[in-house]
Amino acid sequence: MSQAESKEGLLAEVVPAVLPVEDFERGPLVGILIGSESDRDRLQPAIDELNERGISNELNVLSAHRNPQEVAEYSSRAAVRGVRVIIAAAGMSAALPGAVAANTDLPVIGVPLTSSKTVAGGLDAILSIVQMPPGVPVACVSLDGARNAAILAAKILAQGGGYPDAPPRPQVVS
């Protein structure tokens, strides 16, 4: 078996090309991840915005540094669970959004958070999120921009990012 065939076989096992509709769960459309319990209140505006729009969501506390395996597992299984967009918030080194994006094909929205534990005051978190390497895209909203992240998630979902068997978007007639 050639190296290319081996790689192709591994990819087929890890990432099926097309998952049948029945393989998808009806989980929340938006997954929200925070690296620390202390960030929960700062993401409440995102939860409120999503709830006001009737968009199902969940919040989990998973640290890219303290729980890297759990972050990878959550991210890689999110789509099969029904999640269509992930919002990941973090301060300081802000590794969480990138760690999530490295393990999923779903859109990832990074929310940089201010921190009193850093001299940069949040600039470090912004730079960590916007300087992702090629092939690992993360959208970045404003510093402490949880509500903007929810609005962006809603806009992504409105473009057809809903459940696989959702009705098609209405066509705009000009």
CA angle (171, 156, 169) in 5-degree steps: 20
User: With contact defined as beta carbons under 8 Å apart, do 98 and 136 qualify?
Assistant: yes
The pLDDT of residue 166 is 57
Angle at 163 between CA 157 and CA 52, to 5 degrees: 50
Residues in a beta bridge with 61: 34
Residue 30 pLDDT: 98
- pLDDT tens, residue by residue, 104-133: 999 999 999 998 888 788 999 999 999 999
Mean pLDDT computed over every residue of the chain: 85
Confidence of residue 14 (pLDDT cuts 50, 70, 90): very low
pLDDT reported for residue 129:
95
- How high is the pLDDT of residue 165? 56
What tens digit of pLDDT does each residue of 125-154 get? 999 999 999 999 999 999 999 999 999 999
Look up the CATH number of domain 20-158.
3.40.50.1970
Strand partners, 58: 31
13 against 89, higher pLDDT: 89
The domains of the chain are located at 20-158
Q: Give the SS3 label for residue 108.
A: strand
Give the pLDDT score at 81: 94
Span between the terminal Cα atoms of the chain, in Å: 54
Residue written as token pair 């999110």: 78
**pLDDT tens, 19-65?**
455 555 688 999 999 999 999 999 999 999 999 999 999 999 999 99
pLDDT at position 100, please? 98
